[in-house]
Every structure is written in structure tokens, then in C-alpha cells.
Structure 1
Amino acid sequence: MRYPAVAGLFYPSDPEELLEMIEACYLHKLGPKTLPSVGKYDILGLVCPHAGYVYSGPIQAHSYLQLSKKADPSEEITAVILGPNHTGLGSGVSVSADVWRTPLGDFEPDKEFIDMLWKECEIIDLDETAHLKEHSIEVQLPFLKHLELLEIAKFKIVPICMMFQDYETAIEVGYFIAKIAKELNRRVVVIASSDLSHYEPQDIATEKDAIVIKDILKMDEKKLYEDVINYNISMCGYGPVMAMMRALKELGGREAKLLAYATSGDVTGDYSSVVGYASIAISRLLE
């Protein structure tokens, strides 16, 4: 069992308070202003922020509203969640096979997918240590569980924590996610957990963030990597985003759409040092 590390810090630990806060994120002025509902788009991938819900939750909600439009309550979705490693613990790329507990209920791992992933992809280790205190994956789970509680979707999870975020590593991870998804005939959503610029003045942050957002919308993972390095952009999850884009190219992702962008300054009113947040969905339109 992987127990919550940041419940009570990044989001409420009390289930009722947590549900209230998630719904408030959807209805917030920076959120989508509507609650989840089933629709017609087949969402294959998402970029989601992972700060405390009071800062990034409304932007995060845009992604999960779109995910609700993929859902079929009768069919289980494997959510492959890629997050950066902020703690420095564990292996360079680590997949978890534990059950993950949230205040709203537990998530079972997709054990067959996970077992194939770490055995076939040499760079991925089965390692729980990297996940013990890491928040980037954990903060996505209450939003997923909320969709389950609304009977919109059912999920199993594949949590992947990336300390190594170089281009070659990300491409290899993405390739094997897609390969195994196809071999197992899984219905998957690949979620890349990342914040954008960190602790820059608002004008600089938005300028730098526009560069990486443009690269993601073009689904150009090599350009994203080059721009993060060349422009010194402090995006914490560029490796997970590159891996997600690579996987989705193999799985039929065709359209990337910016759902929302804001900074912490838009919440706090302090624009002197902000963190950037974006929600992006990659989909194929169902006929």
C-alpha cells in the first residue's frame, strides 16, 4: 500500500472537504465552470499541473473535465501517470506496483501492464522508494477518484516517476508505454504531471511558458527538450510530457488543444514570482 504523502498539505485529507474542494476547482473562475460529464472525444493524453489545489486545482480541473468525455463507465481505463521526481529518492525511472490510497478510496495497479513495462523497458525499474514522498502523481489521483465516484469512469493506474528526464530516456519510456498498451489492447489515458515556469516574474513566466506550450501543441517532443534547455525554462516535468507525446504518436493522438493556462499570481495577486500551470488535452475525434 502506498499511503498519501501530501494529503492535508496539497489538498484536504478529510474526504468531504476534499470532494468540496474538487468541485470548487471545477466551478472556480479559472476553472471550466462546469462539472464533469460524458462526451464524444477520445482523450488519449493530458498535461496537468501538480501544485496545491488552491493554486493549480482550477487549471487541473480543465483536464479532468475533458477526460470525463472519454469515459465509458462499463469499460475500465488504464491511467498511465508520469510525474517528475522532486525528492531524489529511488531509481532514475521508477514504476510502482502498489495499491495507492487516497482519502476518497484506493486505486488498484494494472499489474499486467506494469509487469511487462519494467521487464521489457531496460531503463524502468520496479521501485517503490521513488514514490514514497513524491507529490506529482499523488495529486492527480483525487481528481480521478472523483470521476469514479460520479460513476463516469473506472481506472487502474500505472504510476511512473522520472528522475531522468533526458530526451532519449523520455522517448524510450513513451515507446514502451504505447507498445504494451497495444499488445494488451488496453484503453489508456497517459497523464503527464508538470508545472511550467517556477518563481519567475509574471511577464517572463508567461513568455517562457508560451514557448513550451507551442511545442506541446505541435506534438514536437525534440523541440520541447531543446527549448527547455536553450531558454532555461524551469518546467519540472518536461520528461513526462515528452514521454506522453511519444506514446500518443504511437497510439493515434492527432489533436493537441490548450484547455487553460494561468499562473499562481492569478490566484494570489502577487505577480513578482509565479509558477505557471497549463492543462492540455491530446485526442482523436471519434466519428
Structure 2
Amino acid sequence: MSVTIREPAVAGRFYPGNPEKLTADIGDYTTPTNAEKLAAIGCVVPHAGYMYSGHVAGAVYERLDLPKRFVILCPNHTGAGHPLAVMREGSWRTPLGDAAIDAELADQLLAAFPLTSEDADAHRTEHALEVQLPFLQILVPNFRFVPVAVGTGRFDVLSALGESIAKVVQSAAERVMVIASSDMNHYENDADTRVKDRLAIERLLALDAKGLYDVVHEKNISMCGYGPAVAMLTAAKRVGASRAELIKYATSGDVSGDRDMVVGYAGIAVL
């Protein structure tokens, strides 16, 4: 029986295609600190090109006590495939090797929430989840994950997805972390982006899924992964999360020097 391999779509563009260079870069982004590791239930991590947001993603992953199993939620930037697309078997390939899908968890999620669908098309060229995997491959060898591409903006569906994820996480024999892949506000000047991002970050830190949803829409915050973040927050609160911590925030202007049109990046742990 052939194994499904999802080939890398953005290696060499969003992150190095050379494994030695990729390993070195991730080492730079995850420089160890003496801070206590956080046993997070969930987190928000950015997904831009590593040169812009890798230092924020790395700060999150370095700070967390990472388990061996993950549900990774990402936005669907391409519009392809099912609105709630799960890959349930096989693996994802990066320059560092193959990362295995957690078929058991995937099957449980598909059974728990009938609005999800087994669908590889939504994932085929999506970058937002792929860029997380090299960090995990370096820091958590032999991890397993469930990839979920979120292409709906309906709060009731996002909330119900989170509730179903919580049931799956709570029934697992081992700890499972829920990762929401998201950048923050897009393509406004640095000052305005920081103001908008602070409004969204405040709701994230308050564990307020509905508040996050509302402020994104009311203030026109172009946070591409608000859907994954709403589902993650809902799941984390159901599992027992009581607080969140902003680990790092930056904009692309901090790297490029261009403050006229930036993208914001927040790294947040939910505990």
C-alpha cells in the first residue's frame, strides 16, 4: 500500500531548501534561554518567510515544553479544497525528512466533528502549516500531527470545531498541543498595524474567542488565521486553560526597515 506524501510547497522560498542551512537557521531562532518551559495547551505562531517571522516562531517553540502530538490549524490562503480540510494519513516532507500524520487523532477529529472532511487539496500548496514543521522536526523528533486547513469564517463553526478538538485532546492518552498558525494585521503602516494587533492580542490574552472574532471584524484587522485562533482558544478553554502569555511580537518592518507597509507577528502561549 502506498503512503501519501505531501511534498514541500514552499521550501527554498519561505525557508531554506538546504537541510544544513535550515537546521542552522532554526538553531539561531531557538537559542535556549533559562526561562522555565511552559506546558501550553495551545499557541499562536506566525507563518511568514523565516527571515521575517522565524525569530518570533522560534521564540515560541523554544519557550514551550513541546509534546509529541499536535493538532495544527492553519488558514486556507489558496481557497482550494474543503472549508475544514483534514489530512488523515501519510506524512509531510520537508528538507529535514518526513513528518508523520497522527492517523489516530485525525480519525477521532473527523468522527467528532462531521463538518470536517478528509481532503488533501486544501493543503497541497498552503504554506501556513508547512513552515511550522521544520521547527518541530528539530525540537521534537518523531512527533505526529493532524493538519487542519480552516477556510470558513463562521463563528459558530469555528467554535464547534474547537469544542470537538477539545474532546479529542481530552480523550488522548498523551498530551496534545493545539497550534494556531496565523500572522496578524497585513499591509498597513507600522504604527497602525501595532494598534490593531494590540486589540487582537488583548482578546487572545483574555482567552476571549468571541471577542477576538468580533474585534477582527469590527476593526478590520486582517489577521489571516483568526479562524484557527478562535478554534484553538475555544479548545484550550474547554481543556482547562486559565491564562495566556505573549512571548514575542514584531512586525516585518523590524527586519526590512520599511515601516510604510508591514505585517504583524505575534507568538502567544495558552496555558
Secondary structure of the residue aligned to 1:90 is coil
Distance 1:141 1:166 in 2: 27
Distance 1:175 1:108 in 2: 24
Secondary structure of the residue aligned to 1:83 is strand
Secondary structure of the residue aligned to 1:214 is helix
Give me the TM-score of the superposition, normalised by structure 2.
Answer: 0.94
| Matched residue type, 1:95 | V
My pick for the range that moved more, 93-102 or 210-219, is: 93-102
Report the CA distance shift for 1:9/1:37 in structure 2 as closer, same or farther (over 3 A): farther
CA shift for structure 1 position 101: 1.0
Asked if the contact 1:51–1:57 (Cα under 8 Å) also holds between the matched residues in 2, the reply is yes
Two-structure CA RMSD over aligned residues (Å): 1.5
Report the CA distance shift for 1:155/1:272 in structure 2 as closer, same or farther (over 3 A): same
Asked if the contact 1:37–1:65 (Cα under 8 Å) also holds between the matched residues in 2, the reply is no
Asked if the contact 1:261–1:279 (Cα under 8 Å) also holds between the matched residues in 2, the reply is yes
Alignment partner of 1:145 out of 137, 140, 150: 137
CA shift for structure 1 position 109: 1.3
Asked if the contact 1:23–1:35 (Cα under 8 Å) also holds between the matched residues in 2, the reply is no
Report the CA distance shift for 1:77/1:148 in structure 2 as closer, same or farther (over 3 A): closer
Asked if the contact 2:71–2:148 (Cα under 8 Å) also holds between the matched residues in 1, the reply is yes
* Equivalent runs, 1:26-175 vs 2, <5 Å: 26=30, 34-35=31-32, 39-67=36-64, 70-71=65-66, 77-97=68-88, 98-148=90-140, 154-175=142-163
Paired position in structure 2 for 1:240: 228
Deviations 1:84-117 (A, max 9, x none): 0000100011011231111112111111111121
CA shift for structure 1 position 183: 2.0
| Matched residue type, 1:259 | I
CA shift for structure 1 position 168: 1.0
Distance 1:140 1:184 in 2: 22
Paired position in structure 1 for 2:269: 281
| Matched residue type, 2:151 | M
Paired position in structure 1 for 2:15: 11
Paired position in structure 2 for 1:230: 218
Secondary structure of the residue aligned to 1:11 is coil
Paired position in structure 1 for 2:6: 2
Alignment partner of 1:197 out of 160, 182, 185: 185
Gapped runs of 5+ residues in structure 2? none
Secondary structure of the residue aligned to 2:132 is helix
Gapped runs of 5+ residues in structure 1? 27-33
| Matched residue type, 1:136 | A
Aligned length: 266
Distance 1:182 1:60 in 2: 26
Deviations 1:233-259 (A, max 9, x none): 100000000000011011121220001
Whether 1:24 and 2:28 are equivalent positions in the alignment is yes
Distance 2:192 2:48 in 1: 20
